[in-house]
């Protein structure tokens, strides 16, 4: 990737990065309708197209080197567009190099384990991109908004009483530092949707028969806790945006912006790993020449 392109992307994604150590108030600091200078859907689509090509190129390097892995953490409220973002942004990437892991309410077996274990078990291998559709951050989001989950998780009473969120932020930061030291880059994306746009998208799901399957009454119930979630997000950003794994808050009211921004953040994060395009050794070149000769002589 040329220096100009690198600089352009760095400038484009900078406003979305949560500065490590800063105190965040989501509603004041990030606008879900921000357009990043892209006024037309058409321009967003062409930006996304370029982004997809670049990302595919970088994913090939990641796979060829086989030394690093990328964990993409995708968090958002319902209807923010997580699934569509995965589908569109990953559309140009070799499917063999990507896996998507979705996390739901923990199963009985998972609740018999410490809370980070199930996330550890579904990490990507070196050379792969693993997308966490929801992630370990649910443990300080839905669980914080509904603390009765801590009882379901069978956390001992003493651990529940003492600074449970502070401890979880700390454990998560350290876990991500450990991953990063081991060659696994954690890229954290929050799709930031407004309450009004969520209302519109829920109504669409109800009004359009082909979208009915996406609607769930549980999502509507969760909407009642909107303000509690906004607070939990603000706390999460304030405590878990780190130098080794910063958060990005991506505007989600316009899907074409979301997707273009996400593609560029992923490309830039892989680029930062400093992976070289695969080189061919002298020995390999000899092997290729010999093979060529053999095939030509058949």
Residues 86-125: x/- map of binding to ligand AMP (CB under 6 A)?
A: -----------------xxxx-------------------
Considering CB under 6 A, how many residues would be counted as binding ligand AMP? 10
Min separation Cβ 78 and Mg ion, Å: 5
Q: How far apart are CA 134 and CA 100, in angstroms?
A: 10
Shortest spacing between CB 63 and Mg ion, in angstroms: 31
b/e sequence 205-232, b meaning 16+ C-beta within 10 Å: beeeeeeeebbeeebeebbeeeeebbbb
Shortest Å distance, C-beta 143 to ligand AMP: 5
- Helix ranges restricted to H, 66-193: 82-89, 108-111, 117-121, 142-145, 148-152, 157-161, 164-181
d(CA 129, CA 94): 10
For 135-151, give one letter per residue: b (16+ CB within 10 A) or e.
Answer: bbbbbbbbbbbeeebbe
CA atoms within 13 A on the CB side of 109: 1
Q: Which is nearer to ligand AMP, 134 or 271 (CB)?
A: 134
Is 191 a binding residue for ligand AMP by CB under 6 A? The answer is no
286 sits in which H/E element: helix 282-296
| Contact pattern from residue 121 through residue 150 relative to ligand AMP, giving x for each residue in contact according to CB under 6 A and a dash for the rest | -------------x---xx--xx-----x-
Helices 226-240, 164-181: axis angle to 10 degrees equals: 50
Q: Which is nearer to ligand AMP, 17 or 99 (CB)?
A: 99
In whole angstroms, the minimum distance from the beta carbon of 230 to ligand AMP comes to: 15
Q: Which is nearer to ligand AMP, 126 or 223 (CB)?
A: 223
Residue closest to ligand AMP, measured at CB: 138
Contacting residues toward Mg ion, per CB under 5 A? 78
List of residues contacting ligand AMP (CB under 6 A): 103-106, 134, 138-139, 142-143, 149
């Amino acid at each position: 990737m040329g220096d100009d392109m690198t600089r352009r992307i760095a400038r484009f994604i900078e406003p979305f990065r949560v500065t490590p150590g800063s105190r965040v108030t989501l509603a004041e600091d990030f606008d879900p309708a921000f357009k990043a200078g892209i006024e037309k859907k058409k321009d967003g689509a062409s930006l996304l197209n370029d982004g997809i090509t670049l990302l595919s190129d970088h994913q090939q390097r990641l796979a060829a080197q086989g030394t690093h892995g990328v964990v993409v953490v995708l968090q958002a409220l319902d209807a923010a567009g997580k699934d569509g973002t995965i589908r569109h942004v990953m559309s140009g990437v070799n499917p063999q190099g990507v896996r998507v892991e979705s996390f739901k309410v923990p199963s009985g077996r998972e609740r018999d384990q410490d809370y980070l274990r199930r996330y550890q078990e579904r990490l990507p291998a070196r050379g792969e991109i693993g997308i966490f559709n929801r992630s370990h951050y649910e443990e300080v989001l839905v669980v914080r908004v509904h603390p009765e989950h801590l009882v379901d998780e069978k956390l001992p009473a003493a651990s529940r009483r003492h600074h449970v969120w502070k401890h979880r932020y700390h454990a998560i930061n350290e876990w991500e530092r450990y991953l990063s030291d081991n060659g696994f880059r954690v890229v954290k994306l929050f799709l930031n949707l407004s309450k009004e746009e969520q209302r519109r998208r829920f109504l669409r799901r109800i009004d359009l028969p082909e979208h009915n399957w996406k609607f769930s009454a549980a999502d509507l119930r969760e909407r009642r806790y909107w303000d509690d979630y906004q607070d939990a997000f603000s706390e999460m950003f304030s405590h878990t945006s780190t130098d080794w794994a910063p958060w990005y808050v991506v505007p989600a009211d316009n899907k074409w912006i979301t997707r273009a921004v996400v593609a560029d953040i992923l490309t830039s994060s892989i680029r930062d790993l400093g992976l070289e395009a695969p080189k061919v050794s002298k020995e390999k070149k000899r092997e290729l020449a010999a093979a060529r000769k053999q095939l030509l002589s058949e």
